[in-house]
Amino acid sequence: MNGLVSYARHGEVAVLTLNHPPVNVLAKPLRIALSACLEQAARDPAVRAAVLIGAGKAFCAGAELADFDTDGLDEPSLHATINEQIEAMDKPVVAAIHGSAVGGGLELALSCHYRLCMPDAKLGLPEITLGFFPGAGGTQKLPRAIGLEAALNLILSGRTVPASAWAGTALVSALADGDLLECAVAFALEHAEARPLPRLRDRRVEHPSAQALLQFARRSTAADRRAWPGTALAIDAIERSLADFEAGMRFEIEHFRAQAATEPARALRYGFLARAEARKLAGLAPGAAARPIERALIIGAGLMGTGIAICFAQAGIPVTLTDRDEAGLARGRATIETYCTAQARRIGEAGAMALREHFAFTLDERPWREADVLVEAAFEDFGLKQALLQRMAALAHPAALIASNTSTLDLDALAAGTARPADVVGLHFFSPAQVMPLLEVVRTAHAGDAALATAMALASRLRKTPVVAGVCDGFIGNRILEAYIDQACRLVEEGAWPEQVDAALESWGFAMGPFRMLDLVGNDVPWAARRHRRARGVAERDGIADALCEQGWFGQKTGQGWYRHAEGAKRPQPAPQVHALIEAFAAERGIVRRSVAAQQIVERCLLALINEGARVLGEGIAQRGSDIDVVYVAGYGFPAPKGGPMFQADEMGLVNVLRLLRDQASRAGGDAAQADFWRPAALIDNLAASGGSLRRARALDTQETPA
């Protein structure tokens, strides 16, 4: 064949091997080759059975996502050609599964007569997490394999489960004990004469309270604002499995295609591909390799430092935590012990004990010399961080990675102040570090290729979503956030209340509105950053957020911020004293407050994100437009089914975005700062004129090297 599927004879068994690295996605050329190999096995009189197996690290990871936006899903289709071809064969076909069989890969296996699995192979149908649902038989065959309730839970969650959990069901015919291919060939010969051949499509779905179960699922979905798009249709498709198979398949195929074409599904597929793209480093020298990381040192035992240490320990990397004194170290030790104790409920006492064994606590200097990566997590003070980085550079071994967790300081200047700036990068974790998936890998002007490659490889090992950022005030995420917060505050000054702004943006899809978020983080944090910029001579508007902080209303930690935070209350409450402060602030500045519609709130805040994001990309702070979307979905609560600010700009149309920005600028009146704020980024202007795409725009047109 063409190399994507190999055909070999093992005695009387034909072995068909999917060979499309790294995970054997079912791209159209592979489906063509597979169909031909199946035909060859069917026609060969010397073949009594066939084995379908995957090369490399997985059986099959399903469809090529890029095919959804082209003709790549057309003939030969997975269901109407491949799966029906397998089911129609008069020789048994055994799916030999290792690594994972997910999405279309599992649907391919469900069409085989038998499934022989390695016990740790992961099985699942994660399509719902991409905004649609299985479209090649999954909603019809999985309930026939494991029962209605189990299939409903698996499909609606998008989880993967080890094959060993399904032993004894029709999903897993047997578990392999030994070499998978040898076991599969033997299994195929053992069942070569079995007739009739078992097909999942021929089984019935039995459940004593099927309709009650389905109605419960529908009610739960309707009440959950975080439910994945396409969930309701998925339930409808699964319901069809209770009756005729062919009618169920017609429903599945028709609605699968329609759902996959919706904006939420396109946005979620885009986000999946964007996260993979973000892991690629532009402009690295050929052959740049990551250095090994075996031991880590975290300097600073506060909440951020302990969270970072937990990230390393959970990745199996021994980590030492240090601080400036014994009291600080003791607080860090207590925080980690509390965390490990809480984790015991999830991973068991043995797992918690194993996690504890990855931590060490000391004030000694020796770990500074032995660690392969050193991360400072001290207060946002330039002098303090520079002194720490200088000490790290002086003590660390020559191959060590030296990292700062600064979120606002000039990392170029910090790195330049050390004796080895090529080894210094930023690793900007988000709080709480052990929970938040985003990690900004900050590329200084001095960073060497080896340090960058090491940082990106480390991010993957820590199971983070890494995005490369250049150096500017706030890097990618926080710099763009400043523009978003600025408009939220101005909307409050002009007439909205904080709770109105939050409600509008949360209804649109944000996980948390800007004022609830500020109260959670602490209003004193951005206030300190503003004061720091003013001290450097940067012009900074004196707005309502400063007036709030001058009252000492820092948020949850003080019981009062933009909201009132009563002890034990589930949600914060609107604060009359904040309303009074806002009205007094507006009156002092001659602002006539007005009614502000929810649509205006969403439009202005979204435009602020788009315009500042385009400036960040145009300046080369971000490598790609899609990287900005990854940052905002992974780190700032932007709704994943809406793709991100750059994706939304393209959906709105850049010509329309340009018009809206110019309209906002025209309303600035004599406010020069606001007129400049709304001046369209040059990149938007250029792309609108050329018909380009903001999410596909790149800062550097250079060869990319996978990290």
**Does 439 share its domain with 506?**
no
Tokens 């969403």 locate to 602
Q: Among 328-332, 576-580, 672-676, which is the least confidently predicted range?
A: 672-676
**pLDDT (0 to 100) of residue 704:** 41
Q: Could you tell me the CATH number of the domain that includes residue 438? A: 3.40.50.720
pLDDT tens profile 227-247: 999 999 999 999 999 999 999
- For residue 700, name the pLDDT band (cuts at 50, 70, 90): low
Same domain, 233 and 376: no
- Which residue is associated with the tokens 């090649």? 136
Mean pLDDT of 167-187: 97
pLDDT score, position 153 = 96
* Parallel/antiparallel/unpaired status of strands 424-429 and 438-442: antiparallel
Catalogue the active-site residues: 107, 127
Structure tokens at 693: 């795409």
3-state DSSP call for residue 413?
A: helix
Percent of all residues in the chain with a pLDDT value above 70, rounded to a whole number = 98
Let me know if residue 705 belongs to a domain: no
Q: For residue 23, give the DSSP letter.
A: T
Specify the pLDDT at position 277.
95
455 and 503 in a common domain: no
* Residues 532 and 651 placed together within one structural domain of the fold: yes
pLDDT confidence band for 302 (50 / 70 / 90): very high
Among 237, 261, 285, give the residue marking a domain's end: 261
Handedness of CA 211, 217, 221, 223 (dihedral sign): positive
pLDDT value, residue 541: 82
Which is nearest to 359 in space by CA: 322, 327, 400, 392? 322
117 and 62 inside one domain? yes
Residue range 687-707: average pLDDT? 75
Q: Which of 49, 65, 64 is nearest to 11 (CA)?
A: 49
Looking at residue 703, its pLDDT comes to: 35
Residue 2 is predicted with a pLDDT of: 59
Domain that holds residue 28: 5-261
Residue 283 placed within a domain: no
Question: Do 122 and 93 share a domain, yes or no?
Answer: yes
Q: Is the pLDDT of residue 539 over 60?
A: yes
Instruction: Kindly state whether residues 255 and 346 are assigned to the same domain.
Output: no
Q: What is the DSSP string of 636-695?
A: S---GGG--HHHHHHHH-HHHHHHHHHHHHHTTTT-HHHHHHTSPPHHHHHHHHHT--ST
Asked if the model's pLDDT at residue 575 lies above 50, the reply is yes
Amino acid at position 612, single letter: E
Inside any domain, residue 226: yes
According to the model, what pLDDT value does residue 468 have?
97
3-class state of residue 269 by DSSP: helix
Per-residue three-class SS string for 127-170: HHHHCCCCCCCHHHHHHHHHCHHHHHHHHHHCCEEEHHHHECCC
Whether 255 and 319 map to the same domain: the answer is no
Measured CA angle at 560 (ends 559, 565), to 5 deg: 55
Residue 678's pLDDT band (boundaries 50, 70, 90)? very high
Q: Would you state the structure tokens that stand for residue 627, as one six-digit string?
A: 């990287």
d(CA 131, CA 347): 30
Strand, helix or coil at 375?
Answer: strand
Query: Strand, helix or coil at 706?
Result: strand
Contact 427, 403 (CB under 8 A): yes
Average pLDDT value for the chain = 94
Q: Measure the CA–CA gap between 414 and 412, rounded to whole angstroms.
A: 5
**Domain co-membership, 245 together with 178:** yes
Residue 126 tokens, joined: 């994660």
Domain of residue 202, CATH code: 3.90.226.10
- Picking from 469, 503, 529, the residue at the C-terminal end of a domain is 469
Q: Is residue 664 part of a domain?
A: yes
Place of tokens 């003070």: 381
Residue where one domain finishes, among candidates 469, 496, 520: 469
The answer to whether residue 214 sits within a structural domain is yes
Q: With bands split at pLDDT 50, 70 and 90, how would you rate the model's confidence at 671?
A: confident
Residue 55 lies in a domain: yes
Residue 136 in tokens: 């090649």
Q: Is 639 domain-assigned?
A: yes
Interhelix angle 514-521/524-535, nearest 10 degrees:
80
Same domain for 73 and 123, yes or no, is yes
pLDDT digits (tens, 9 = 90+) for 341-370: 999 999 999 999 999 999 999 999 999 999
pLDDT given at position 454 = 97
Element (H, E) at 587: helix 576-588
User: How does pLDDT run across 56-81, given as a tens digit for each residue?
Assistant: 999 999 988 888 877 667 777 878 78
Angle, CA of 536, 542 and 543, to the nearest 5°: 135
Residue type, 665: A
491 and 450 share a domain?
A: no
Rounded Cα–Cα distance for residues 629 and 322 (Å):
35
Adjacency order of strands within the sheet including 174-175: 5-10, 13-18, 49-54, 93-97, 114-117, 174-175
Beta pairing, strands 373-376 & 424-429: unpaired
What pLDDT sits at residue 531? Answer: 87
Domain assignment present for 279: no
Spatial CA neighbour of 63 closest among 26, 109, 10: 26
Q: Do 664 and 683 lie in a common domain?
A: yes
Q: Who contacts 141 (Cβ-Cβ below 8 Å, separation ≥6)?
A: 107, 110, 111, 200, 201, 241
Secondary structure (3-state) at 5? strand
Round to whole Å and give the CA distance between 510 and 108.
36
**Who's near 45: CB < 8 A, 6+ residues apart?**
none
Q: For the segment 495-526, what is each residue's pLDDT rounded down to a tens digit?
A: 999 999 999 999 999 999 999 999 999 999 89
Number of domains in the chain: 3
Question: CB of 91 within 8 A of CB of 50?
Answer: yes
- Regarding beta strands 122-124 and 160-162, do their DSSP bridges make them parallel or antiparallel, or are they unpaired? antiparallel
CB within 8 Å of 567: residues ≥ 6 apart = 559
* Banded pLDDT at 706 (limits 50, 70, 90): very low
